[in-house]
Amino acid sequence: MQRREFFTQATAAAPFLQASQVGGRGPLKITDVKLHLIGGGGRNYCIVRVETDQGIQGIGEAYSCGPDAAIVEVVKDFRGWLIGQDPRNIEHLYSMMVNFTRFPGGLVVNAAISGIEHALWDVAGKAAGLPVYMLLGGKCRDKIRTYQSAGTPEAAKRLVEKYGYTAIKMRPQPDNDNGKPYNEVTRGAAARVKAMREMLGPDIDIGCDIHARFFEVSRAARLAAAIAPYNPMWLEEPIRPENEHAMKKLADRVTIPLASGECNYQRHEFRRLLELGALDIIQPDICLCGGLMEMKKIAAMAEAHYVTVAPHNPMGPVATAVNVHFAASTSNFFILEYHPDDEGVRKDVLKEPLMVKDGYIPLPTKPGLGIELNEEAIKKYPPVSWHRGFAYRADGSVGYI
């Protein structure tokens, strides 16, 4: 190949190089950062948009925390820090938002940072003319394995038949478990998991999500022993997440793989869990833990501890797209939580949401995240005011949700 021909092809495939190094339009600059609340499904989808002086826009998704108006205000504050910056300096801008906040962020601040960070990657990919996963080392798989939650064995069977899932998740505890005796909950959990296994057969993986409703290690261990004969894929959030040593104590008593992490932020909290050997599978949320690069760093630590990653993904279709790029480029990725984007507000948020085919999501090939926001959805679905439901024990005391 002639040098001129090679140069022409290389620069045509990499507008990022043209703009910043070959005398093109110069470096990108952020001109605006916005957050759109799209109401639907009993909560909001918190869609962040980063705009630039060259017309390239990126989108991301922050976690819907409940008081979502607080996330709007945090994004507004960060906007003043980010305008005028090159959006491709993602590590630098992430450090600005984290370090200049001074105190370690919680639910709201980390949600805002995560959504902004996604949008920066979308801009960077579009500017380079490449899918985001190609900026993260390239793909290490061709499609992304997914699973969905089901309330009953019959519903699970329908989902497997419709979407081709090789895994399903369920809540093992019976309804109103906060108000029932331990023995009834344990016995009911065993019956529910048994029914699910009998419906799905021996080969479909079944994840069991306690949803952090147990406080005592012994109670979680008893339930784990009761459902172990039905070969669960994992026991998710079996106890509250605050005490890593308690999770390690549980890990030493059970035979089911333990999974947790949706309530943990940034690499530092995951470091403690990994050093203790408390988990077999970590479940960081890309809309909450700090974003895509932070989750890559968490995954790298997990890989060094022989732990796999199954991202928590209850948010909207933008979050799913970001997770797909993470999964495509991460060798110790295991499986992705998924919610079908084929009806209602989830279908309308994006012009072309990423869809499951035979239990897997094919990798997008368009630049950036490979998705485009449907502007009409912003008008069609106004924000909703919401909070999580309350749960009380039989004696009237506050339970866990």
What's the pLDDT tens digit per position in 115-172? 999 999 999 999 999 999 999 999 999 999 999 999 999 999 999 999 999 999 999 9
Task: Specify the pLDDT at position 16.
Answer: 38
User: Which of 36, 92, 118, 211 is flagged as catalytic?
Assistant: 211
Alpha carbon distance 5, 379 (integer Å): 47
Question: What is the architecture, at CATH level 2, of domain 134-371?
Answer: Alpha-Beta Barrel (3.20)
Alpha carbon distance 25, 52 (integer Å): 12
Residue 309: what are its φ and ψ, rounded to 5°? -120, 125
Residues of the chain with pLDDT under 50: 1-25
- Domain boundaries of the chain, sorted by first residue: 14-131, 134-371
Task: Specify the pLDDT at position 164.
Answer: 98
Give the single-character DSSP code of 350. Answer: B
Task: Specify the pLDDT at position 144.
Answer: 98
Alpha-helix runs per DSSP H in 131-278: 132-135, 153-163, 182-200, 217-227, 244-251, 266-276
Report the alpha-carbon angle 250-251-253, nearest 5.
65
Is there a contact between 114 and 284 (Cβ–Cβ < 8 Å)? no
| Active-site residue flag, 387 | no
User: Which of 36, 312, 325, 339 is flagged as catalytic?
Assistant: 312
| Active-site residue flag, 36 | no
Residue with tokens 């974003």: 291
Give the single-character DSSP code of 373. Answer: B
- pTM of the full structure: 0.92
And the tokens for 54? 């060259």
Helix (H, G, I), strand (E, B) or coil at 361: strand
Q: Does the fold of domain 134-371 match that of domain 14-131?
A: no
Is there a contact between 149 and 168 (Cβ–Cβ < 8 Å)? yes
| Alpha-carbon 323 to chain mean position | 6
**Within a 10 A sphere around the Cβ of 68, how many other Cβ atoms?**
23
And the tokens for 2? 């002639």
Q: Does domain 14-131 have CATH number 3.30.390.10?
A: yes
Q: Which helix (H) or strand (E) holds 376?
A: helix 375-380
Give 379-396 pLDDT, tens digit per residue.
999 999 999 889 899 999
Using the CB atoms, write b or e for 112-123: b if 16+ within 10 Å: bbbbbbbbbbbb
| Alpha-carbon 16 to chain mean position | 28
Is there a contact between 281 and 257 (Cβ–Cβ < 8 Å)? yes
Is there a contact between 328 and 346 (Cβ–Cβ < 8 Å)? no
